[in-house]
Amino acid sequence: MERCRIVFSGSGGQGVITAAVILAEAAVLQEHLNAVQSQSYGPEARGGATRSDVILSADEIFFPKVLQPNVLICLTQSAYNKYHSILRPGGVMLTDPHFVETHRGLDAQRCEIPMYQAVLDQIGKPVVFNICVLGALLGIRPLVAPDSILRVLETRLPGDFLDLNRKALELGYRLGTDCAV
């Protein structure tokens, strides 16, 4: 696969770091790719802007942070305002209109997907919002198979909760696939 640099950004409690860890872990443990994941630490991780960087590659990864992401996920307005300028020209900007109003004129494949509303309407548990986002990401860019994400979730979650997450992943994947076309 071609190297992909992804930045997840949002606010503490949205599960953006968890989503980033699950994606990178699935790439390494299930698909035998190389991946590194890191995150901003500190007081800002509690309620303020939260950021997690992931690099996926078939080759060895040296510099472990992302300076210019191919894919930028912004789940709050402040995260969007802070980070939108670092996206590589022509890269993917994934946002949720429930949280973020994007600028016109951004040189990006803009994917404004109402993931939060879809999770509320179809699943009713906002706690799985982050897995829906992960599903949407994989619908837009086939970085790893959704099954690989499920394998990782199986090691982390009890049965009932796993079902909710599976639904959220599938929901996001459908929404993402629609946007990718």
Partner 1 sequence: MSEQVRFVQGNEACVEAALYAGLGFFAGYPITPSTEIAELLALKLPQRGGKFIQMEDEISSMCAIIGASLAGGKAMTATSGPGFSLMQEALGYAIMTEIPCVIVNVQRGGPSTGLPTHVAQGDVNQTRWGVHGDHSIIVLTASSAQDVFAMTVEAFNLAETYRTPVILLFDEVVAHTRERLLVPEPGVLPLVERLTTSVPENVNYHPYLPREDGRLPMSDFGGIHRYNVTGLFHDMWGFPTEDPKTVHELLRHLVDKIENRTHIIAHYQTYHVEDAEFLIISYGCSARSARQLVEDRRLRGDRIGLLELQTLWPFPAHIVQQLSAGKKAVIVAEMNTGQVTASVKAAADDPDRVFLANRLDGQFITHYDIRNVLRLVQGKGV
Is residue 42 a contact point for partner 1 (CB under 8 A)?
yes
Beta carbon nearer to partner 1, 157 or 180: 157
Nearest approach in angstroms of CB 105 to partner 1 is 27
Considering only residues 2, 41, 90, 160, which one is a binding residue for partner 1 as defined by CB under 8 A? Answer: 41
Beta carbon nearer to partner 1, 67 or 163: 67
Question: Among residue numbers 60 through 89, which ones bind partner 1 (CB under 8 A)?
Answer: 61-65, 67
Is residue 21 a contact point for partner 1 (CB under 8 A)?
yes
What does the alpha-carbon distance between residue 167 and residue 150 come to, in Å, rounded to a whole number?
A: 11
What does the alpha-carbon distance between residue 19 and residue 124 come to, in Å, rounded to a whole number?
A: 19
Residues sharing a CB contact under 8 Å with residue 154, sequence separation 6 or more, in sequence order: 162
**Residue 112: φ, ψ to 5°:** -100, 100
What does the alpha-carbon distance between residue 153 and residue 26 come to, in Å, rounded to a whole number?
A: 9
Nearest approach in angstroms of CB 174 to partner 1 is 27
Residues sharing a CB contact under 8 Å with residue 163, sequence separation 6 or more, in sequence order: none
Beta carbon nearer to partner 1, 38 or 109: 38
Nearest approach in angstroms of CB 44 to partner 1 is 9
Nearest approach in angstroms of CB 181 to partner 1 is 32
Beta carbon nearer to partner 1, 16 or 123: 16
Convert 136-169 to b/e letters by CB count within 10 Å (16 or more is b): bbbbbbebbebebbbebbeeeeeeeeeebbbbbb
Beta carbon nearer to partner 1, 12 or 126: 12
Greatest alpha-carbon span in the chain: 45
Binding site for partner 1 (CB under 8 A): 21, 24-25, 28-29, 34-39, 41-43, 61-65, 67
